[in-house]
Amino acid sequence: MLECLVSDELRTFQWLVSDHMTGESLTPVGREKLQHADRLTTARLLQEHFGPTQTENVATNILLKIVPSLGVCLRGQGVTSQTSTHIRVETNVDTTVVKNKPEVSEDGNMFRLRCRQLGVFLCSETGLLLEGVGDVVYQTVPWDLDFLSAKGLRPAGPLFRFKLLTGSFHRVHLPHCLLDCAQHSLSVAHITGDSVDFITPGQVTDSHVIIDISGFSCFGLVFRIASPDSDRGAIGGLVLLFHRFSDSSLFVHLLPRNVCLNKVIKTCKQRIRAEYLETISDCELIPNQTYKLSGQPAVFIQPESSKFVNFSDYNNFLPSFQVQLEALEADMSLKLQLSHLTPFRLIGWLIGSIESLVWHQVLTLRAAASSPCTEDSVSESVNVILLLHGILKNLELEDFKTFQRLLNLRSDPIPVCQLEAADRMRTVDLMVQQYHAEGAKQVTEEILRKMNFNHLVDQQLRN
């Protein structure tokens, strides 16, 4: 039965069957067993845990919640997401927004929100607002950037894939980061299978785009690039700080305010082993403009300046600055400034650039308890990730898919269920997690040489 699921649906199935089978009288399968399991392994674990008869019942019930249309082949009849619960729509509904904390998967990318009575519910992790009642699972999935670019569009928020387990929702509010002057350029991409529709919002508030829905699939915000000047207005942004205690490094991320913070935190912890520092992060940032970071005390900051180019990136979360700190515990003042370059060369040579303050915080940094940490897993990981990502960006899509297939054919493979929906950056992350930094470089070289990309290896890996 699991062969009909794509990789994201398989992960949803595994998550629900692990420790989220509320309402069932059976003991769930431990999540650690299913975390990296493929379809065959998942089926075997279910058989061992529940036995043949119960396995079919458990699997069928969860599959119908994830993909209701499977009812035709599984039970010989059409089953909708509202089969298990009948909702009576009331005219007098409380419109007060209720903040609700969802259950979150270990990788920070999948959420389950339970709305037990009719109302308006705010997901505290993603900023989504849902109107209705029921139980819904959702996750962020990668955008097809080439498709959007061909239509003169770019992402303006995460792309959410929803699975309705029970209940009914009639309206969704997607968080945006644009200021008033640019909100008219927003629309909602509605993706069902291979079909994509672009919906004009019914209403746009200072923080959300609101649309009426008749069912769930994939929804995400896009921005129409009408001219090269379209992206020159300020957006609501975040300055996020991550501290790596092992070498006293501080990583500074410039991101749009409607990113999924939990996903950013999990990604940075996995990729660079840095801990999130809670601070006031809100500010206004201008896409494609240059910013300068200064701090006291600091040994050095690299680079000296950085363009804000991550304004439409809701998947990779690369840092804009790295600050080398004093090893001892200290208070630190950080300032982010926008560099205004004058268009007149002579004036610019005389007075230089003019800088305006965008964000300022004073931090109290604490020393971490000493713990052994290898150079391979900490000091080198960031450089290796950037190097390998740059190499994979040189591959055409078909060659990149071949690279992923060869990764799965190794004696110590990365599971195909993890690679199916992985973009280039996610693939690099998986390699570093599986083989560590130096091992990931060796694996990349071996596969590229098998693919006859010797020039790429010699130019970028051997320099």
What's the 3-state SS for 199-256?
ECCCEECCCEEEEECCCCCEEEEEEECCCCCHHHCCEEEEEEEEEEHHHCEEEEEEEE
DSSP 8-state assignment for residue 397 = H
* pLDDT value, residue 85: 35
The candidate with the shortest Cα–Cα distance to 139, out of 263, 265, 240, 30, is 263
Chain centre to alpha carbon of residue 339: 29
Distance CA 49, CA 70 (A): 24
CA distances from 15 to 22, 58, 140, 163 (A): 12, 13, 15, 13
Total Cβ atoms within 10 A of residue 235:
22
* E strand map for 274-370: 275-277, 282-285, 290-296, 300-302, 305-307, 321-324, 330-340, 354-365
Q: Where are the domains of the chain?
A: 2-74, 97-230, 234-365, 381-461
The answer for residues whose C-beta is within 8 angstroms of residue 337's C-beta and 6 or more apart is 291, 292, 293, 294, 355, 356, 357, 358
* pTM for this prediction: 0.68
Structure-derived torsion over alpha carbons of residues 299, 300, 301, 304, reported in degrees to the nearest 10: 150
Q: Which residue has the tokens 């969802």?
A: 102
Instruction: Considering the domain delimited by 2-74, tell me its CATH architecture.
Output: Orthogonal Bundle (1.10)
Distance CA 395, CA 378 (A): 27
Identify any residues that bridge with 169 across adjacent strands, giving them in sequence order: 132
* pLDDT value, residue 245: 85
Contact criterion met (CB below 8 Å) for 68 and 80: yes
Q: What is the CATH number of domain 234-365?
A: 2.60.40.2660
Q: Which residue has the tokens 């898919």?
A: 401
Contact criterion met (CB below 8 Å) for 232 and 181: no
- Residue count of the chain, please give it: 463
Chain centre to alpha carbon of residue 168: 26
Distance CA 358, CA 347 (A): 24
Distance CA 63, CA 83 (A): 13
DSSP 8-state assignment for residue 6 = -
CA distances from 42 to 34, 87, 165 (A): 6, 34, 21
Q: What is the CATH number of domain 381-461?
A: 1.10.533.10
Distance CA 22, CA 412 (A): 35
Report, as ranges of residue numbers, the positions in the chain whose pLDDT lies below 70.
1-9, 19-27, 31-32, 35-36, 63-94, 181, 228-230, 327-329, 341-354, 366-380, 463
Q: At what angle do helices 424-450 and 381-393 cross, to 10 degrees?
A: 70
The class that CATH gives domain 97-230 is mainly beta
* pLDDT value, residue 228: 67
The candidate with the shortest Cα–Cα distance to 240, out of 359, 143, 105, is 359
The answer for residues whose C-beta is within 8 angstroms of residue 170's C-beta and 6 or more apart is 131, 132, 212, 213, 214
Domain 2-74 and domain 381-461, same fold? Reply is yes
The answer for residues whose C-beta is within 8 angstroms of residue 369's C-beta and 6 or more apart is none
* pLDDT value, residue 152: 92
